[in-house]
Structure formats: structure tokens, C-alpha cells
Amino acid sequence: MEQIASFRAFGGWHKRFRHHSTSTGTSMTFAIYLPPQCDQGAKVDVLYWLSGLTCTDDNFATKAGAQRMAAELGIAIVMPDTSPRGTEVADDDSYDLGQGAGFYLNATQAPWAAHYRMYDYVAEELPALIEREFPVTLRRSICGHSMGGHGALMIALRNPGRYAAASAFAPICQPTTSPWGQKAFTAYLGDDRTTWQDYDSCHLLQHAQHALPLLIDQGEQDNFLPTQLKPQILADIAQARGWPITLRVQPGYDHSYYFIASFIEDHLRFHAHWLGEVAEG
């Protein structure tokens, strides 16, 4: 790993690193916020944050205002990039495909399959690196926004018992029926839609055997709500199966980081609670 930036924040440290990823076959960048408890010799629990379309590791770090509450609660936050990047990495002119739009899956179709293996990177490689190199426990939680909300819910549902809880802001809940998801899944996974179901949170929740707590915040004035996001479908499935889910539709809020910053404290407290339950259990 190469440290490329370090900033003091709320008594802790926000650091950015670059490393070679065996999953993507490229250089990857991630950020980590280490709360002040780490300076005092403690190991802390970890929240993984997955960002949305066009974002890097830096958007959440500079816009969400999460470090203050993470410092208070004693939680590390890990923020990976949203895709592999570089001149050797396939790309597209549109914002919703290619670099900045990895959709947290393992691509199987050319030219994407060579590097777009973000599922392996986020679910396996990055946690192993974090737990090896930083003062953290093995207790994990996961959260994200939009495309990253899709990633957070999907990865948690595919890995029962690995995460204490999952939460999301305006997630793409059923990508197999949304324009964003259909475009990306066709390119990355091909035309066989049965392969898409492995990355669709609604399908995964319908068949999941291990319940985990879910929190979703959705802005009522989000322009993408009717066609792209569809959180009510996920909530209906969860409720029908007796899953612990909270869906909050927030009046007047849109899809922006103003929305995320307004409710990030609630999400951090939610994760702290369930990480604590894991520790006690």
C-alpha cells in the first residue's frame, strides 16, 4: 500500500491509500477514517461505505460529514472507489457505464470482464486488507448511496452473517427492472437475465435464509425514485418475510449529498447499535 493523503479530523485520521488489486488487476484507491480510539490502542468496528455513479472515494469523505459521528461512536469507515480506473481499463462515454459505474459486480462479458470485478474487491479483497493492516475488529457493517446502496444491500444479502446490518440512501433496489441496472447488467453480464438475479437485492431477499437489519432512507423529491430506485418493492418483500426493515421516505429531500448529510448520523447510530449487538452476542 502507498499512502497518498492524510488529514486530521475530529481527533482521528482520514487517510487515502493506493494499492494493487488482485481482483481488478489494477491500481485501486480507497480511503479510511480511523477514529481517535485507534490512537489510544483500541481496535474498532468497521463500516464500509459504497458510493454511487460517477463518484470516487472522495465524494462521501468531503460531503457527508460522517467523521464527527464516527469519532464519537468509535467506528472506522472504509470508502472504496466505485470502479477500476486507468488507461488500460475499459470505459464508456456515458456516465452510467464504465469507469465510475462498476455496479459492485463481477463482469463476465468483454471488454469489462478483464477488470470489472468490484464484487470480489469489496466483499473479499478489501476487507482482508483492512483487517490485516489496520486496528479494526472482524465486525463489519455496510452502507451506500444509489448504485452504492444497491451494492451495500446486495453484498450483505449474498454474505449471510458477515455484516451486522446494512443500510442505504436511495438505493437501486431492483436493478433488473431499472434502466440503470438493465443497461449495466446487459453490458457487464450479458443477455441471460438469470445471471442478473445474483446481483438483484429484491431477488436475493426473496430467497435469503439469514435475516439482517435493514435501514433505507429515500428522498420524497428524488427524481429517480419512480423509475430507478423502487424501495417499496424491497420493503414489501421484507415485510412479507418478517424481516427487520425500516423504510423512511423523507419529505422534501432529493438524491443529493445534502440528503445524505442530513441523515448520516442516524445511519451511523443504527450501525453502531447492531455492531454492538454482534459484539455482545
* pLDDT, tens digit (0-9, with 9 covering 90-100), for 224-241: 999 999 999 999 999 999
pLDDT at 118 (0 to 100): 98
222 noted as active-site residue: yes
Any idea what DSSP says for residue 49? E
Band (pLDDT 50/70/90 cuts) for residue 280 is low
Distances (CA, A) of 205 to 123, 169, 173: 18, 18, 10
- Structure confidence at residue 277 as a pLDDT band (50, 70, 90): confident
Q: Which is catalytic among the residues 21, 45, 222, 262?
A: 222
Choose among 96, 131, 112, 143: nearest CA to 26.
Answer: 112
- Residue 15 CA to residue 12 CA, distance in Å, equals 10
pLDDT at 92 over 70: yes
pLDDT at 210 over 90: no
| Catalytic one of 14, 115, 255, 267 | 255
Reply yes or no on whether the pLDDT at 154 is more than 80: yes
- Mean pLDDT score of the chain, rounded to an integer? 97
Q: Residue 152 — very low, low, confident or very high, per pLDDT cuts 50/70/90?
A: very high
**Residue 232 is which amino acid?**
Q
Q: From the candidates 21, 51, 146, 178, give the one annotated as an active-site residue.
A: 146
pLDDT (0 to 100) of residue 279: 66
Strand 136-145 and strand 163-169: the pairing is parallel
Predicted local confidence at residue 176, as pLDDT = 98
pLDDT of 39 strictly over 70: yes
Could you confirm whether 255 is annotated as catalytic? Answer: yes
Q: Give the mean model confidence (pLDDT) for residues 183-190.
A: 98
* pLDDT exceeds cutoff 70 at 31: yes
Q: How confident is the model at residue 281, as a pLDDT?
A: 58
45 assigned to active site: no
Q: What is the reported pLDDT for 13? A: 98
Q: Are 188 and 103 in contact (CB under 8 A)?
A: yes
